[in-house]
Amino acid sequence: MKSTKFTPVPLTKAETDKKWWEIGDFFRRNSLWLLMYCTGCCAIELPPAMTSAYDMERLGMGPMATPRQADILLVSGYLSLKTLRRLIYTYEQMSEPRYVVALGSCPINGGIYHDSHAVINQLDQYIPVDVYVAGCMPNTEAVMNGFVDLMDQIKHKRANGWKKYHENYSWYKANQITSLGEVDVHDEFHE
Amino acid sequence: MNSMNNIERVKEIVEKVAKVRKFEQIDKFQIAFEIEKNDVHQTLSALKLAGWKQLSYLSAIDWIETSKFELVYVLFNWDEALYIQIRAMIEREAAEMNSIISIFPGAKYYEREAHEFFGINFPGNPDYHKQLILENWDDIPPLRKDFDPSVYSDRKFPKREYSVDYSVKDPENKSFEKIKEREKRALSLRTGGQKK
Ligand code: SF4
């Protein structure tokens, strides 16, 4: 008679890893912690998104105070050269996997600051962006929709910005250096 | 004391120490004096003694046609509702103005800002040439009128490229006609299919 005993099929290392990633992604996408880098006016959409009006908490999202424990870097609005330096610094401190959500038309193509001497035009030249939310400013429904899109992307393994950053590190660094000159932060108040 | 007397009083103070080239009353609470560059320090210290002891702002204006910079010192008094602007013209080429940090120490940062954005030198201020707001700036000072921000932006920052079919100028683009069709249909539904 054939045995009814369950014999597990041995998995390869890659397969086991994949399973663990799926489990990890499930928990990760249901408890996302945001690091809010409120650079521009789009940040005004966050209070309604976080408080009882739209209540981000019901999606399992919450604010986080430090980059090392956050999952999402939320760039809300325009980035001047000076803030871009600090943003790259912050992004590189975050632990992986890390996702970037950019709000507003300013990080997409410069928005109303497209011809300014101080504001960059396209954020994804410097760090990889997973979700863009268009609008100037995007309304809160759009912001929430952006977060749901990000969860969807994580579920379907499409939120790969942080991997791209590893693969194309030299390309990103070259772009950063063209626009910034020097990426390291030097200022007299911190040295 | 009402503001009318106040203005007379300030006029007296300023005229005693400086040659006033132009006086302007902007509104009830703001007056402006245009004086010689060399009288600025005396005027500011006289006004400081008279109670205008806060320097609200130091700014500059680039008059490129006449090749001058205009410096504007805005003084504020905590007891009287009257702002005073002291304006002085300086040459645009190799622009230079003696620092006022011996009178208003807080001007240190305003002078650094004016140096950064207009390229005005302030001898007397030990670190006017240090960077304050811009980091690693590599062009002429950005608030001078001969600086073109969009050229700088095009040179420094990569732009997003859009394929032409997003452009409304594209002759192949039929979206306007489609919108018209849709509007017509919406209108016809609203009137129950009848022409009005
Ligand atoms: S997209 Fe509009 S609202 Fe957002 S930062 Fe830019 S200018 Fe401000």
Subunit contact A182:B150, Cβ cutoff 8 A: no
**Is A190 within 8 Å of chain B by CB?**
no
Summarize pLDDT for B128-180 with one digit per residue, the tens.
888 888 888 888 899 998 888 888 888 888 888 876 555 556 666 677 788 88
Query: Between chains, do A117 and B142 touch, taking CB under 8 Å as contact?
Result: yes
Average pLDDT across each block of 10 residues of chain A; the chain has 191 residues. List them in order.
78 89 91 89 90 90 90 91 90 90 91 89 91 91 92 90 92 90 78 66
Q: For residue A105, how many other CB atoms are within 10 A of its CB?
A: 22
CA distance B52 to B20: 18
Kindly provide the ipTM of the predicted complex, given to two decimals.
0.78
Question: What's the order of all strands across the beta sheet hosting A72-76?
Answer: A62-63, A33-37, A72-76, A99-103, A131-133
Taking CA–CA distances from B143, the nearest residue in chain A reads A117
Residue reference for tokens 């939120």: A159
Closest CB to B130: pick one of A121, A181, A188: A188
CATH of A30-181, one of 3.40.50.12280, 1.10.10.10, 3.40.50.300, 3.40.50.720: 3.40.50.12280
Domains of chain B: 3-191 (3.30.460.80)
Cα A136 to averaged position of ligand 1 atoms, centre (Å): 5
- Are A67 and A93 spatial neighbours (Cβ–Cβ below 8 Å)? yes
Task: Provide the pLDDT for residue B164.
Answer: 56
Instruction: State if residue A138 touches ligand 1 by the CB under 6 angstroms criterion.
Output: no
Residue B72 has pLDDT above 80, yes or no: yes
pLDDT tens readout for residues B106-132: 889 999 999 999 999 999 888 888 888
By CB atoms closer than 10 A (0-12, 13-18, 19+), residue B34 is middle
Nearest-angstrom CA–CA distance, B155 and B141: 16
CB neighbours of A126 closer than 8 A, spacing ≥ 6?
A: A84, A88, A120, A172, A175, A176, A179
